[in-house]
């Protein structure tokens, strides 16, 4: 179970009290602070700003920059677009899942890594591509997976 710092959430909400049209920025601030938007935070926002929970959930689930599930400190994205796929990206994804002992879309139990597949990163000539926290690794092979992960241990 992930411990939530509700005091910190309350401080973030307090910065927006009385302002109109702040929900998206408020949610982004909580996402940035906690690395996800927990149910307890949504309840606090709803109660303090008098916004229906359903509206908050609709906004939070619409934007890819927001997550309603715990996210690891390091986000790993593996491109499975056509160019990367034909160059071996599925094998890299398999190796990453094996090394982290999670499946794509999951987060490690120690909250260190989240593994995501993406359809295109826009750098096809470098494929297959892995991105960790905004750092791009091109022409990745299965043998490189452990070295990439070690950089974030």
Confirm whether 92 is domain-assigned.
yes
Query: Domain check: are 98 and 131 in the same one?
Result: yes
CATH number of the structural domain spanning residue 130: 3.40.30.10
pTM: 0.72
Query: Domain check: are 24 and 86 in the same one?
Result: no
Query: 93-122, pLDDT tens digit by residue?
Result: 999 999 999 999 999 999 899 999 999 989
Q: What's residue 71's pLDDT?
A: 87
Distance CA 59, CA 50 (A): 15
Choose among 69, 70, 47, 68: nearest CA to 57: 68
Query: Domain check: are 114 and 134 in the same one?
Result: yes
Query: Domain check: are 83 and 112 in the same one?
Result: yes
**What is the per-residue burial (b if ≥16 Cβ within 10 Å, else e) of 110-122?**
eeebbbebeeebe
Q: What's residue 2's pLDDT?
A: 64
| Predicted confidence band of residue 28 (pLDDT cuts 50, 70, 90) | very high
How much of the chain exceeds pLDDT 90, in percent?
77
pLDDT at 89 over 70: yes
- Domain carrying residue 127: 74-150
Give mean pLDDT, residues 37-54. 95
Residue with tokens 């973030």: 12
Domain count, the chain: 2
């Amino acid at each position: 179970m992930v411990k939530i710092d509700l005091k910190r959430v309350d401080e973030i909400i307090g910065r927006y009290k009385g302002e109109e049209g702040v929900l998206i920025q408020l949610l982004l601030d909580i996402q940035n602070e906690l690395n996800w938007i927990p149910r307890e935070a949504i309840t606090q926002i709803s109660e303090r700003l008098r916004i229906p929970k359903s509206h908050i959930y609709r906004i939070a689930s619409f934007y890819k920059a927001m997550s309603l599930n715990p996210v690891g400190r390091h986000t790993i994205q593996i491109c499975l677009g056509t160019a990367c796929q034909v160059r071996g990206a599925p094998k890299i994804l398999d190796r990453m899942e094996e090394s982290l002992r999670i499946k794509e879309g999951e987060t490690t139990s120690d909250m260190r890594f989240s593994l995501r597949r993406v359809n295109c990163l826009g750098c096809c000539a470098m494929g297959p591509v892995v991105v960790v926290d905004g750092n791009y690794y091109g022409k990745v092979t299965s043998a490189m997976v452990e070295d990439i992960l070690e950089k974030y241990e």
